Amino acid sequence: MTSFITEITAPDGHKVSLNTGLFINNEFVAGAHTIDTINPATGEVITSVQAAEAEQVNLAVDAAHKAFYGGWKTSNPRERARLMRKLADLVERDAEDLVHLESMDNGKPLSNSRMMDPVGFVEHLQYYAGFCDKLHGKVIETKGKLSYTVHEPIGVCGGIIPWNVPMMMLAWKIAPAVCTGNTVVVKTSELTPLSALKIAELVKEAGFPPGVINIITGYGPKAGEALSRHMKVSKIAFTGSLATGRAIMKAAAETNLKKVTLELGGKSPSIIFDDVESVDEVVFWAHMGIFFNAGQACCAGTRLYVQEGIYDTFVEKFKALTLSKKVGDPFAADTFQGPQISETQFKRVMNYIDIGKKEGATCYLGGERIGSQGYFIEPTIFTDVGADMTIMKEEIFGPVVVISKFKDIDDVIAKANDTTYGLAAGVFTSNISRAVKVSNALEAGTIWVNHYYSASAAEPFGGYKQSGIGRECGEYALSNYTQVKAVKINI
């Protein structure tokens, strides 16, 4: 059998052995072709991985289908929990390998990856392991009948994930699915397959039966579409762009009406009232909210609305903090912001910056490329941005923020909700009733009050409006992966 094992050396000398085959039925197998994966900090090829097309997607789905009916569906919940906890332990053990792969492949600072990626993966696996034996039905008494409900798994679940937080997205697609007795085929982004492939090795080592968890990569219109059109896939959980989300819903509608949950984009507002206790603290959160992960976050706080009393102070302090943060080598200890993920994404963001300038907004800070190698962009602040300007309306998915002034609460709620998206929002105020009033009025799935970006496996995440359908994380996600059966006994 061909071996796809390679050794990858990170810029700091850390070496990782990696199997670059498609992980199907607990084996690493050949794809239809290969994809080079690029280090966005250098533009250089890290390695090449096997990539799936329809034929390999069929193999993966068949393996998952066989595993589902061959025992996983009716497996002992405690055994599922044991395997999930074992996988979490192995991820903890190999965390350094994983963070090195993630930083090279995605460009995020190594320190960020250490802080959130394996930690988040482990948290989700452990959280959902706890639910394996807690999927209780109900007893319902009606006249002459005793009925009970059972929560059953759906079958083969497809997961399609983006490149911005690859390990976390993988955990979101695997953990609630396998805990409820489903089997999965997850397609990683073609841009960031490496950490998922390392985790595939750990899935096998943990002892999951063949076919329960399959991890493949491949291009969206080939592997992704084949998965979302597959007649044996009963559910697709997708995280990515609005355009792809629409394509996946259409594919589901045109084939077997598979259940679809979508986590899509955003244009999240943060509202900063002039009664905040500390402007410095708000500046910290607002800065983190937009520039963390080089602005490549679905829930990034891209629109800042600052009340007129503190507007000038805020903008000045925001600029100073932004200038104090280092943009550059993801492996340098003091780097805050790495590169954009790819040349395409880099050009897309630069194009938005150009459009902003052409439409008459003020580019108050940044707006230029940094260096000539890799895909680095200066953190960019726009002011004087009209409500109808492109950079106020469209998701940029880069280190670009717009800051606007507002007068009063009604004015700012209308502005904040003036978007087709509804993923998240921030509210900063020392007045608790104002915080609650504004949180209630905002049309978004997550509202952060006096901070930004907190997340845990226990809290639901998802979008209002065109930011998505359904919720991931927390016990809410369990309903995405189970169907309820009513058994009615004639007494």
174 or 264: CB nearest ligand NAD: 264
161 binds ligand NAD per the rule CB under 6 A: yes
Residues near ligand NAD (CB under 6 A), total: 30
Residue with tokens 């905040």: 276
247 binds ligand NAD per the rule CB under 6 A: yes
102 binds ligand NAD per the rule CB under 6 A: no
Query: And the tokens for 288?
Result: 């983190």
160 binds ligand NAD per the rule CB under 6 A: yes
356 binds ligand NAD per the rule CB under 6 A: no
259 backbone dihedrals φ, ψ, rounded to 5°: -70, 145
C-beta of 166: minimal distance to ligand NAD in Å? 10
Question: Among 102, 117, 190, 201, which residue sits at the site for ligand NAD (rule: CB under 6 A)?
Answer: 190
Contact 445, 98 (CB under 8 A): no
Closest CA to 208 of 333, 34, 67: 67
263 binds ligand NAD per the rule CB under 6 A: yes
Question: Among 59, 197, 276, 298, which residue sits at the site for ligand NAD (rule: CB under 6 A)?
Answer: 298
Question: Among 221, 309, 360, 371, which residue sits at the site for ligand NAD (rule: CB under 6 A)?
Answer: 221
132 or 185: CB nearest ligand NAD: 185
395 binds ligand NAD per the rule CB under 6 A: yes
C-beta of 45: minimal distance to ligand NAD in Å? 19
The region of 21-29, 103-111, 161-169, 302-310 touching ligand NAD under the rule CB under 6 A is 161-169
Residue/partner pairs of 342-347 with CB below 8 Å, 24 or more apart: 342/38, 342/40, 342/191, 342/375, 343/43, 343/375, 345/296, 345/375, 345/397, 345/398, 346/375, 346/377
C-beta of 296: minimal distance to ligand NAD in Å? 7
Question: Among 8, 49, 202, 423, which residue sits at the site for ligand NAD (rule: CB under 6 A)?
Answer: 423
- DSSP secondary-structure letter at 444? S
Query: And the tokens for 258?
Result: 């598979």
- State how far the Cα of 471 lies from the Cα of 480, in Å rounded to an integer: 8
118 or 468: CB nearest ligand NAD: 468
C-beta of 448: minimal distance to ligand NAD in Å? 15
Q: Are strands 183-187 and 213-216 parallel, antiparallel or unpaired?
A: parallel
224 binds ligand NAD per the rule CB under 6 A: yes
378 binds ligand NAD per the rule CB under 6 A: no
119 CB burial (10 A radius; 0-12, 13-18, 19+): middle
Q: Give how far Cα 356 sits from Cα of 380, 402, 468, Å.
A: 11, 10, 27
Which residues, at least 6 apart from 115, have a Cβ–Cβ distance to it below 8 Å? none
Catalytic residues: 263
163 binds ligand NAD per the rule CB under 6 A: yes
- State how far the Cα of 168 lies from the Cα of 455, in Å rounded to an integer: 11
265 binds ligand NAD per the rule CB under 6 A: yes
The region of 138-146, 159-167, 326-334, 357-365 touching ligand NAD under the rule CB under 6 A is 159-167
Query: Which phi-psi region, left, alpha or beta, contains residue 43 (left: φ > 0; alpha: ψ -120 to 50)?
Result: left
Question: Among 65, 100, 187, 259, which residue sits at the site for ligand NAD (rule: CB under 6 A)?
Answer: 187
Q: Give how far Cα 423 sits from Cα of 238, 266, 435, Å.
A: 15, 5, 18
Question: Among 26, 112, 126, 164, which residue sits at the site for ligand NAD (rule: CB under 6 A)?
Answer: 164
- DSSP for 309-360 reads TTHHHHHHHHHHHHHHSEES-TTSTTEEE---S-HHHHHHHHHHHHHHHHTT
C-beta of 395: minimal distance to ligand NAD in Å? 6
189 binds ligand NAD per the rule CB under 6 A: yes
> Residues interacting with ligand NAD, by CB under 6 A?
160-164, 187, 189-190, 219-221, 224-225, 228, 239-241, 244, 247-248, 263-266, 298, 395, 397, 423, 463, 468
